[in-house]
């Protein structure tokens, strides 16, 4: 157990639908990062939140949005889903003060859009 909790582990939904993925960071970590991993693209950075505020944005589609709540958990909302959104979605959190211990990843949510 990495200490980063993601739910649900698996999600199957239809095109056009909306889903919400949830992440609880490791205790004490203020930063949360969302990544998408598909077979042909590798791990792609989507967005980072730090202590409730958006800190950095990557290749996140306009149909996707995220937020971080006062208790530091984060949610990634995916709407108007398309077949191509099928992927593993990872959340990671990091220790403040430096990257030396790396970014700790959760076990991911596997999203299948049918």
CB of 16 or CB of 43, closer to another protein: 43
The separation between CA 1 and the C-alpha centre of its own chain, rounded to angstroms, equals 17
Cβ atoms < 10 Å from Cβ of 18 = 11
Binding residues for another protein, rule CB under 8 A, total: 26
Tokens representing 67 are: 């937020």
Site string for another protein, 41-70 (x = CB under 8 A): xxxxx--x------xx-x------------
Which residues ranging from 68 to 107 are in contact with another protein (CB under 8 A)? 88, 90, 99-107
Q: Which is nearer to another protein, 16 or 58 (CB)?
A: 58
Give backbone dihedrals phi and psi of 55, rounded to 5 degrees, phi first.
Answer: -110, -40
């Amino acid at each position: 157990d990495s200490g980063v909790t993601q739910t649900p582990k698996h999600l199957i939904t239809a095109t056009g639908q909306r889903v919400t993925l949830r992440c609880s960071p490791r205790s004490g970590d203020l930063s949360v990062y969302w990544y998408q991993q598909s077979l042909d693209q590798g791990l792609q950075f989507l967005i980072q939140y730090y202590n409730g505020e958006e800190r950095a944005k990557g290749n996140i589609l306009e149909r996707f949005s995220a937020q971080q709540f006062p208790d530091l958990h984060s949610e990634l909302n995916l709407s108007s889903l398309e077949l191509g959104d099928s992927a593993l979605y990872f959340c990671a959190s990091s220790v403040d003060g430096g990257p030396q211990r790396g970014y700790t990843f959760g076990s991911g949510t596997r999203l299948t859009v049918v």
